[in-house]
Amino acid sequence: MVLIISKPKGTADIFGEELKYWYFVESTFRKITKLYNYREIRTPIFEATELFLRGVGEETDVVQKQMYTFEDKAGRSLTLRPEGTAPVMRSYIENSLMKEGLPQKFFYIGPVFRYEKPQAGRMRQFHQFGVELIGSHHPMADFETIILALDVLNELNLHDYVLYIGSIGCKNCRQRYKEALKEYYQPNLENLCHDCQRRFDTNILRLLDCKNEQCKAYQKDAPSTIDYLCDDCKTHFDKLISYLDAMNIEYEIDGHLVRGLDYYTRTVFEIKHKSLGAQDTIIGGGRYDGLVEELGGPSTPSVGFAGGIERIILALKNENVSVPKISVCQVYIAVLNEEARIYSLKLAQSLRSRGLIVEVDLMSRNIRNQMKYANRINAQYVIIIGDDELKRGVFTVRNMETGEQVEVDEKWVENYIVEKLEE
Ligand code: HAM
Residue 254 DSSP label: -
Task: Dump pLDDT digits (tens) for 162-173.
Answer: 999 999 999 999
pLDDT band at 383 (very low <50, low <70, confident <90, very high): very high
List the one residue out of 41, 28, 21 whose CA is nearest residue 304. 41
The pTM of this model reads 0.95
The contacts of residue 399 (CB under 8 Å, 6+ apart) are 380, 381, 405, 420
List the one residue out of 123, 128, 158, 118 whose CA is nearest residue 43. 128
Task: Dump pLDDT digits (tens) for 213-247.
Answer: 899 999 999 999 999 999 999 999 999 999 999 99
Contact 379, 357 (CB under 8 A): no
Task: Dump pLDDT digits (tens) for 282-319.
Answer: 999 999 999 999 999 999 999 999 999 999 999 999 99
| Amino acid 171: pLDDT | 92
β-sheet with 46-48: strand ranges across: 46-48, 77-80, 68-71
Average pLDDT of span 96-120? 97
Q: What whole-number distance in Å separates Cα of residue 36 and Cα of residue 188?
A: 48
The contacts of residue 307 (CB under 8 Å, 6+ apart) are 29, 128, 129, 130, 149, 152, 271, 282, 283
Contact 358, 331 (CB under 8 A): yes
For ligand 1, atom 15, the nearest C-alpha belongs to 308
The answer, yes or no, to whether residue 177 has pLDDT greater than 90, is yes
The answer, yes or no, to whether residue 59 has pLDDT greater than 90, is no
Q: What percent of the chain has pLDDT over 90?
A: 94
Residue type, 192: L
Average pLDDT of span 400-421? 96
CB atoms under 10 Å from CB of 277, counted, come to: 9
pLDDT band at 328 (very low <50, low <70, confident <90, very high): confident
| Amino acid 209: pLDDT | 86
| Amino acid 346: pLDDT | 95
3-state secondary structure of 212: coil
| Amino acid 196: pLDDT | 93
Q: What whole-number distance in Å separates Cα of residue 267 and Cα of residue 288?
A: 8
Query: Which of these ranges, 134-143, 187-196, 288-297, has the smallest mean pLDDT?
Result: 187-196
What angle is formed at CA 223 by the lines to CA 217 and CA 228, rounded to 5 degrees? 155
Pocket test for ligand 1, best of 112, 263, 272 (most atoms within 8 A of CB): 112
Strands (E), 363-420: 381-385, 394-399, 405-409
Helix axes 413-422, 338-353, angle to 10 degrees: 50
Task: HSE, CB side, 13 Å, CA atoms: give it for residue 182.
Answer: 13
Residue type, 361: D
| Torsion 264-93-97-56 (CA) sign | negative
Task: HSE, CB side, 13 Å, CA atoms: give it for residue 228.
Answer: 22
Query: Which of these ranges, 77-81, 154-158, 187-191, 360-364, has the smallest mean pLDDT?
Result: 187-191
Pocket test for ligand 1, best of 33, 67, 83 (most atoms within 8 A of CB): 83
The answer, yes or no, to whether residue 389 has pLDDT greater than 90, is no
Residue 304 CA: nearest ligand 1 atom is 33
pLDDT band at 388 (very low <50, low <70, confident <90, very high): confident
Task: Name the percent of the chain in helix, strand, coil, to the closest 5.
Answer: 45, 20, 35
pLDDT band at 327 (very low <50, low <70, confident <90, very high): confident
The contacts of residue 78 (CB under 8 Å, 6+ apart) are 46, 47, 48, 49, 69, 70, 71, 72
Q: What whole-number distance in Å separates Cα of residue 347 and Cα of residue 317?
A: 40
Q: Kindly report the average pLDDT of the chain as a whole number.
A: 96
Contact 172, 286 (CB under 8 A): no
Q: What whole-number distance in Å separates Cα of residue 385 and Cα of residue 273?
A: 53
Q: What whole-number distance in Å separates Cα of residue 373 and Cα of residue 122?
A: 38
Task: Dump pLDDT digits (tens) for 11-43.
Answer: 999 999 999 999 999 999 999 999 999 999 999
- Distance (Å) from CA 52 to ligand 1 centroid: 14
Average pLDDT of span 192-215? 91
Residue type, 389: E
Helix axes 139-155, 231-246, angle to 10 degrees: 40
Which residues lie with the beta carbon below 6 Å from any ligand 1 atom?
Answer: 83-85, 114, 116, 121-123, 126, 128, 130, 132, 260-261, 281-286, 288, 304-308, 310-311
Q: Name beta bridge partners: 39.
A: 106
For ligand 1, atom 29, the nearest C-alpha belongs to 305
Q: Counting beta carbons within 10 angstroms of the beta carbon of residue 115, is it exposed (0 to 12), middle (13 to 18) or buried (19 or more)?
A: middle
What angle is formed at CA 264 by the lines to CA 272 and CA 205, rounded to 5 degrees? 85
- Distance (Å) from CA 188 to ligand 1 centroid: 30
Pocket test for ligand 1, best of 81, 211, 261 (most atoms within 8 A of CB): 261
3-state secondary structure of 410: coil
